Amino acid sequence: MFFRRSYKFLTIMILIISSVVIAQNNPQQNQKAQKIYQQYQEISQQLEGVQKQALEDEKIQKQSEEFTQELKTEMIRQDSSVEGKISRQEKLMEEYKKAQASGSKEEMTAIQQKFQGVSQDLQSVQQKALQNPELVKERDEFNNALIAKMTEIEPKTPDLLAQLQSLSQKLQQSSQH
């Protein structure tokens, strides 16, 4: 679960940062990038809903849990501090909820920065762990099963995924100009 939250948070942050950089460099490019980003968000939300439904399937849940556990085990094997970082991340999420409830924007920002730092550390270890051929095979099998289930729920899923990838490339290209 923490992997998905981390990826989603980091992806959003990267896209926001890209949009800000584009806005600073070229106002006309900014409008184009904003339109692409808006389309990206709409498709992401659509796919997120379908993915949520697909993850309710017992078989998909089981595959997800097995893969996540094996990935976590490999990460811990490679770096013994991973468990502590995961625990830290969970504590930060609780702190964030409290800060959010109290309305403390400054505290929320500070917690987000700490969370992002821990997430980047975990992502680095995760990337190393995913060099394990067995994990790559399991990840691919899980992704294929998930996409198949998503396609069963929403037949347009492959097209939406292709559009999302295309929009992502366009966002990257517009940030390079």
Q: Average of pLDDT values for 155-173?
A: 89
User: How many Å from the N-terminal Cα to the C-terminal Cα in the chain?
Assistant: 36
Query: How far is Cα 126 from Cα 45, in angstroms, rounded to an integer?
Result: 25
Domain containing residue 12 = 2-176
Least Cα distance to 136 among 44, 74, 49 occurs for 74
- Cα–Cα distances in angstroms (integers) from residue 123 to residues 52, 72, 78, 88, in the given order: 22, 11, 13, 14
pLDDT tens per residue across span 57-92: 999 999 999 999 999 999 999 999 999 999 999 999
pTM higher than the cut 0.95? no
Query: How far is Cα 20 from Cα 18, in angstroms, rounded to an integer?
Result: 5
Task: Count structural domains, the chain.
Answer: 1
Residue type at 9 in one-letter notation: F
Q: Average of pLDDT values for 148-168?
A: 93
User: What is the rounded average pLDDT for all residues in the chain?
Assistant: 83
